[in-house]
Chain A
Amino acid sequence: MNYITFLIRTAIEDFTRNKGRTLLTSLGILIGVLSVVLLTAFGLGLKKYIGDQFEAMGKNTIFLVPGRILSGGGFSGSASSFTGRFDIRDLEKLKEIKNISAVGPLTFKSTKIKSPLKEDYADIMFSSEVISDVMGFEIETGRFFDKSDVAKKTKVIVIGNKIASDYYGSPEDAIGNKITVGEIKFTVIGVTKSKGGGGMGGFDYDKYLYGPYTTGYTFNPDRKFIRLFAKTENESDISQVKGDIKKEFLKRYEEEEFSIVEPTELLSAINSIFSVLNLILVAIAAISLLVGGIGIMNIMYVTVTERIKEIGIRRALGARRNDILFQFLIESVALSLMGGLFGLVLAYAIIFFIQQLFPAYIDLVSVLLALGVSSAIGVLFGVLPAKKAADLSPIEAIRYE
């Protein structure tokens, strides 16, 4: 039997003798690790979710948004960013800018839509045919509206996958059927493939309907768009295009009346906000780790007092101060690590179930961090009690009853 296994054997013996106490002490760390790991997992999930959402918007795309959206890297969304501002003249100007391959407008309408099966509120996105490419839509059945639909103001509509199954039973059953949007009847010409996502107020493209912006004028009598978008040929053109757009639009608008938003830029701004928020939450959760650590310290003091005689015997038989110190440190680390491990397992189980509803996941860093931090807590809060044990005088300890 070597030194380490002997010490671990002693620790295990002690834990099994005081099962209830061991359990309760570890519970403190368990709760701490559980909350920190869960919050980190939610944070990571959220970040990934937002990233996916932006990725859906397509690469090399620039949006023009009314009002100031980004100022100094922070996010300052205002109500004005959802009121129509741009018109067809702006769109034409945008087309003239060098290195832009496609442009399009965007308006939204929230209204009641009706099929033979269902009647409820839904959102319709009115745009040009380019939106399909910009958003990366794929068609499951039927077709997307095209240039001539836009030119002829045809009353056709493409519906999201979810809308198709909710209002018609299946995508196939939707094609060719009429759908009433507000007061106007549209013909369903296509159903998009499911993109997933949604929830938490994010875009769920499967629950949208898409129509030509010219047809959309019916709902938008002053013909103003809340977004314009432009797609560049290459990623390297983005900054030049942004500069040119700004120059062009400043001719007509004040600087604070519009923003040029690049999704990746917006993504990093949003990410930085969530990171800070998440960090604060994790820091608050970490307080429970601290409390758990104090619990360990308390129990270790009790253990040392209970085992003064044993310490005396070990010292008489040749144990050095450090041997005693090490013995008690191993116990406090084992206590803490045990709590950490169970906390991690529990967090894993919870996340496994929660993943059905919410994008959360544990990465290797949080696993290592959880185990590292719980060991560190064991050392940190165990060292004082262990030192007390090590500094006992052998004779006084051995005489202790």
Chain B
Amino acid sequence: MIRLQNVWKEYQLDRELVFTALKDVTLTIKDNEFCSIVGPSGSGKSTLMHIVGLLDKPSKGHVFIDGKDVSKLSDNTVSSLRNEYVGFVFQQFNLINKLTVLENVLIPTIYTRKHLQYDAKEKAKYLLKRFGLEDKINSYPNKISGGQQQRVAIARALVMSPKLILADEPTGNIDTKTGAEILRLLYELYTNEKITVVIVTHDPLVAAKTKRKIEIRDGEIQ
């Protein structure tokens, strides 16, 4: 369970000018939810995602993960938490092109400080096979299609068995048909594996597929 309590995020643009991206946001995302954060560009939804995903810290307020306040934790601890608790899926896929598909999926397991109960390579191969990519294991990301890249990214997000998947415009860079497949895949993770899935989108059609819509406008939850 993630809880944001009176979270503010401000950016110092200039010596005088301060931009407030999030204004007093209080929000709870329970375990095993399938929800979307929606809003136009500049609404603060990316900032919200970064704070939920532990990539950024609030200027004011608290973030609780399973009841634990993470706003005061050290960078190392937050990095480890991000590694184990959250899986990211980005609009740009964000795969590392010089590494193979399999190596990309393995990256989170390289950085973990946790002793894995399973063989990382086997798990990565299993996930790739499950997403129909078994023959692409040794390919490089720029040699496969956008839909395939996004499935590699999802496999990478899942390799640490996280409780939360954060997907930032996951269908933004792929065609509608492939986009629908990606959404179905994310939905399966929610239903079959009881993972919390949060999709950040500006597309009402995508948002409509989720169970709960968190609307944000000008840094405030509507």
Contact = CB atoms under 8 A, between A and B. Distances in A.
Contacts of A398: 55, 90, 94
Of the four ranges (under 10, 10 to 19, 20 to 34, 35 or more), the interface on chain A belongs to 20 to 34
Contact of B84 (A310, A312, A318): A318
A318 B121 contact: no
Contact of A313 (B53, B80, B94, B121): B94
The 7 closest A-B pairs by CB, nearest first: A318-B83, A318-B111, A320-B79, A319-B111, A13-B98, A317-B108, A313-B94
B17 interface: no
Given A1-B103, A321-B75, A323-B111, A316 B98 contact: no
27 contacts: A1-B110, A1-B121, A3-B110, A9-B103, A13-B98, A17-B98, A310-B96, A313-B95, A313-B107, A314-B96, A314-B111, A316-B53, A316-B55, A316-B88, A316-B94, A317-B107, A318-B80, A318-B111, A318-B160, A319-B111, A320-B76, A320-B79, A320-B111, A394-B56, A398-B55, A398-B90, A398-B94
Nearest to A6: B110
Interface string A1-23: 11100100110011001000000
A10 B103 CA distance: 10
B160 to A, nearest CB: 8
B114 to A, nearest CB: 10
Contacts of B121: 1
Contacts of A6: 103, 106, 110
Nearest to A320: B79
A395 B94 CA distance: 13
Contact of B112 (A312, A318, A321): A318
B73 to A, nearest CB: 12
A10 B108 contact: no
B75 A317 contact: no
Interface of A: 1-3, 6, 9-10, 13-14, 17, 309-310, 312-323, 394-395, 398
A310 B112 CA distance: 17
A323 B84 CA distance: 16
A320 B108 CA distance: 11
Contacts of B50: 395
A314 B76 contact: no
A320 B98 contact: no
B55 A394 contact: yes
Nearest to A13: B98
B62 interface: no
Contacts of B55: 315-316, 394-395, 398
Nearest to B157: A317
Contacts of A317: 82-83, 88, 107-108, 111, 156
A317 B55 CA distance: 10
A312 B95 CA distance: 11
Contacts of A318: 79-80, 82-84, 108, 111-112, 160
B180 interface: no
A317 B54 CA distance: 11
Contacts of B27: none
Contacts of B111: 314, 317-320, 323
Nearest to A1: B106
Contact of A14 (B82, B83, B98, B106): B98
Given A316-B55, A316-B88, A320-B79, 15 more contacts: A1-B106, A13-B98, A313-B94, A313-B107, A316-B94, A317-B82, A317-B83, A317-B88, A317-B107, A317-B111, A318-B80, A318-B108, A318-B111, A321-B75, A398-B55
